[in-house]
């Protein structure tokens, strides 16, 4: 298994950050088949495979704001008001994704991208672990 941790700056706003290029760069030396496992070692972020750039990323953030409003209902109360919702996020948007790799290339659909989903405005830097498991 080959594994590497990368750092992503998400800033101080909710974001869907496209990781596809970073995943492709990680696989640059791979010429075989296997699985790419992507892991976010954070309690307030997740990973999604979705279309980006055509509004779906903004729609996801809007849906998460409706499902998990940043208000005072959350028992987990440290950080920015409503931060407790960020700790519920990984139950809906899991902190992992596994993508098939065929001939060293991600086997994504035409409009699919691998994305970090981060609603936690208190943590502007995230770590993402990429691991290739050869087939």
- Would you say 65 and 16 are in contact if contact means Cβ atoms under 8 Å apart? no
Within a 10 A sphere around the Cβ of 134, how many other Cβ atoms?
11
Stretch 7-15: mean pLDDT, rounded? Answer: 95
Whether the pTM exceeds 0.85: the reply is yes
Mean pLDDT, the chain, as a whole number? 96
- Residue 44's contacts (CB-CB under 8 Å, 6 or more residues apart) are 83, 86, 87, 89, 90, 118, 119, 120, 123
Stretch 115-131: mean pLDDT, rounded? Answer: 97
What does the pLDDT look like over 57-83, one tens digit per residue? 999 999 999 999 999 999 988 888 899
């Amino acid at each position: 298994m080959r594994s590497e941790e990368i750092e992503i700056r998400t800033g101080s706003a909710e974001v869907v950050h496209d990781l596809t290029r970073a995943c492709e760069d990680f696989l640059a030396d791979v010429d075989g088949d296997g699985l790419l496992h992507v892991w976010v070692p954070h309690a307030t972020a997740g990973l999604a495979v979705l279309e980006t750039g055509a509004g779906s990323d903004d729609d996801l953030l809007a849906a998460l704001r409706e499902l998990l409003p940043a208000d005072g209902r959350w028992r987990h109360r440290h950080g920015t008001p409503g931060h407790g919702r960020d700790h519920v996020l990984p139950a809906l948007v899991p902190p992992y994704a596994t993508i098939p790799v065929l001939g060293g290339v991600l086997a994504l659909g035409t409009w699919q991208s691998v994305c970090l989903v981060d609603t936690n405005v208190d943590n502007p830097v995230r770590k993402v672990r990429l691991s290739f498991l050869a087939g």
